[in-house]
Amino acid sequence: MRVWDKFLTERDKRILEQTNNASGNTGFAGRAGFGHKPALLLIDNYVAGLGDKPLPVLESIKRFPLSTGAEGWVAVGHQKRLLDLCRQLNILVIHTNLDISPHSPRDFISALRGDIRKRTMGPDQAQLDPPTGVKPFDLTPELAPVDEEVVIMKSGPSAFHGTSLLTVLTRHNIDTLLVCGESTSGCVRATVVDAASYNFHTIVVEECVYDRTEAAHAISLFDMDQKYADVIGLEEVLTWLDKSFTRPT
């Protein structure tokens, strides 16, 4: 049972059954699998997308309207397990964050869709407990980068667009991306499509991505698994890393 199954219609299921039976695979091409040298990519784990403390989403959006609520915090806990292991194994870790500086190209999008900076604090903020000292576009302290880790500021949905990400990956001879973060249907999906276009082994770690709505999360995972990536559970990824790489002595 996959997370997206309950959102598929009977027609969808019949199409998939016939397609998979004909090809002998799941999805259009089956699994691409892991490569030889991975990097961990943590996408946009900022406070505005989580809130400054774990709350159910309908409570959290009163403080931070872009928040994903409790589901996001669960995913942060799973990311922390993966991040800790990658650090132990000296796996390259890359964080991304949204560039909302006054002269960022993001301003063009903001002019069309509404300034994201004005949508990060709820209208009832004054009546609620004050924020705990972190700013909306700070990376959540639970996943804060350490000195040697790469932090890439991006102005578009994809972590590749207009950034140095591809150069960093090429410099380190990376062939596999372990993708985590938010939102599943937005920046994660956009990054995954570009990663597939650049021919990386692209692994979406299922428990480590999150979104604001259940349907968007589930169907985006389905779509990526069918076309652009392998959507794989955290335990399988942890096992592969532990068996494939040696902790430095």
**What is the amino acid identity at position 167?**
T
Between the two ends of the chain, the Cα-to-Cα distance in Å is 40
Q: Which is the catalytic residue, given 86, 180, 187, 208? A: 187
What number of other Cβ atoms are within 10 A of residue 192's Cβ?
A: 30
Strand partners, 179: 41, 204
Pairing verdict, β 201-210 and 150-154: unpaired
**Is residue 180 annotated as a catalytic residue, yes or no?**
no
**For the chain, where are the alpha helices, taking DSSP H only?**
10-23, 57-63, 70-88, 106-113, 165-171, 189-197, 214-227, 234-244
Task: Check if the beta carbon of residue 52 is closer than 8 Å to that of residue 64.
Answer: yes
Q: Rounded to whole angstroms, what are the CA distances from 155 to 108, 116, 150, 245?
A: 10, 12, 16, 34
Q: Rounded to whole angstroms, what are the CA distances from 148 to 93, 107, 145, 167, 207?
A: 9, 30, 8, 17, 26
Q: Which sequence positions are flagged as catalytic?
A: 187
